[in-house]
Amino acid sequence: MNIILLGPPGAGKGTQARILVETTGFVQLSTGDMLRAAVAAGTEVGRKAKAVMEAGQLVSDDIVIGVVSDRLDEPDTRAGVIFDGFPRTAAQAEALDRLLAEKGLTLDAAISMEVDDELLVDRVSGRYICAACGEGYHDRYKKPAQEGVCDACGGTEFNRRADDNAETVRARLVAYHADTAPLIDYYTGTGKLKTVDGMAEIDEVTRAIRRALGPG
Ligand code: AMP
């Protein structure tokens, strides 16, 4: 099964993608994670993407589509893919349709995670992840059971993303509304759109996604 998690920054796409990976065996394809890894590794893609990401703007379609195309050539994606943060523009959505068709794959659903804009800056600016395993936390909404220790792996180092500050989050929201929100209409048109309430508790959102995906 191949599914897209669609929603603004802070909607919970990464959190839900990680949960789905554990329960389904699908792979998470996060273009944000892949681009951050490219920046950290200092690759050509990373050099081109760095300043754009720091400004909260969208990296060019060509770069992102190239990264996704390469990733889809890896055999583990045949187990099913959860697209997290991709596609983000109409050109990317069309490219994804093309890439999937070329590889004999289909898109099963695009899950739109609906959240109130006013809460997003707060959600995003309080979040951090375990440096060792990537488990996500939040200053207020999801603290580790024992302060300073990751629930998932016991790690004690945590990272905050450079672009998770209030100013950059606002720029990312502008980009979302201008370029990504129109994809809701695109996937309504293809009959793939399912909507879930992203404001609910994490477990409830997971259940809503499972209901939206149907049995099996
Ligand atoms: P994310 O981790 O999904 O919030 O992405 C972080 C940043 O990476 C975004 O603000 C963009 O600068 C860039 N990015 C990630 N995915 C895409 C994409 N599909 N298209 C363009 N830029 C992207």
Q: Would you call 140 a catalytic residue per the annotation?
A: no
Residue to substitute in 13, 35, 170, 179 for testing ligand 1 pocket (most ligand atoms within 8 angstroms of CB):
35
Closest residue by CA, ligand 1 atom 8: 32
pTM of the shown model: 0.93
Query: What element of type H or E holds 122?
Result: helix 117-125
Q: Would you call 210 a catalytic residue per the annotation?
A: no
* Interatomic CA distance for residues 115 and 202, integer angstroms: 13
Backbone angles phi, psi at 27, to 5 degrees: -100, 150
Q: Kindly report the number of other CB atoms within 10 A of residue 200's CB atom.
A: 15
Q: How would you write the pLDDT of the chain (216 residues) with one tens digit per residue?
A: 999 999 999 999 999 999 999 999 999 999 999 999 999 999 999 999 999 999 999 999 999 999 999 999 999 999 999 999 999 999 999 999 999 999 999 999 999 999 998 889 988 999 999 999 999 999 988 899 999 999 999 999 999 999 999 899 999 999 999 999 999 999 999 999 999 999 999 999 999 999 999 876
